[in-house]
Amino acid sequence: MTTLLLIPGLVSDARVWRPLAEAAPDWLSTADADVTRDPTIESMAASLLAAHDGPLIPVGHSMGGRVAMEMARQAPERIAALVLANTGHDGRKPDEAPKRLAKIARGHEDMTALAAEWLPPMLANDRAPDPALVAELTEMVLAAGPDIHERQIRALMDRPDALTYIGAFTGPVLLITGAQDGWSPEKQHREIAEVLPRAEVEVIDGAGHFLPRERAQETIAAVTGWLNRHKEDVDA
């Protein structure tokens, strides 16, 4: 059976993809990915390929999308399809390091303060945030802690430029993002789609970077509908 491998992003865990895990099609198994221990995007991908047997459909959010694309580069024969949510493709920008290093320092100083600064821009800015969701996401960030935060930030600083290789992947790909995602906007997803032979882009209104939780039902409908349409391609 093909496994839907649910990969969270920066300082995130299984809570990001929990609604989808609970609603996944019954012809797929599901598994939560651990990306907390490896120091690079490449080693995260290699560890996940080693930890999970058989054909996979990586479903990556944010940093997890980059890990998913790297899995497709390392073992394309094992990747039945990709779902990439709120992600990007570029390598490190010239002015990026000082900002990232400042975030690392802030995390070691006070993770609660880091969460309070980091989370609001990650959510749709055209409506009041859901207090319960903010509380859960804050708890998730604090559970990760400063060491995982630093390790993942450094992995992102050294990330590969996925646009240089992802076009070689020939399986179906769904790219999905929130219309109000200022961190990973629609443009980035369309740039990835342009180099892929079998890609679709879905943009959901009323969501920012945490689309899978901000608009859980719409995300479930988009992903499960797409999976069911491609069942003959990806079921094994």
CB atoms within 10 A of CB 113: 11
Residue 144 forms part of a structural domain: no
227 is in which domain, residue-wise? Answer: 3-92+157-234
Q: What is the pLDDT of residues 30-83, one digit of tens each?
A: 999 999 999 999 999 999 999 999 999 999 999 999 999 999 999 999 999 999
Q: Specify the pTM.
A: 0.96
- Domain presence at residue 145: no
Sheet containing 29-32: give its strands across. Answer: 29-32, 3-7, 56-61, 82-85, 173-178, 199-204
pLDDT of 127 above 80: no
Residue 31 placed within a domain: yes
Joined together, the tokens standing for residue 202 give 């879905």
Q: What is the tens place of the pLDDT at every residue in 205-228?
A: 999 999 999 999 999 999 999 999
Give one DSSP letter per residue of 67-96, joined into a string: HHHHHHHH-GGGB--EEEES-------TTH
Q: Give the whole-angstrom CA distance, residue 114 versus residue 94.
A: 23
Q: CATH no. for residue 168? A: 3.40.50.1820
Would residue 202 count as lying in a domain? yes
**Count of domains forming the chain:** 1
Which uninterrupted H or E stretch holds 151? Answer: helix 131-157
How far is residue 68's CA from residue 61's CA, in Å, rounded to a whole number? 9
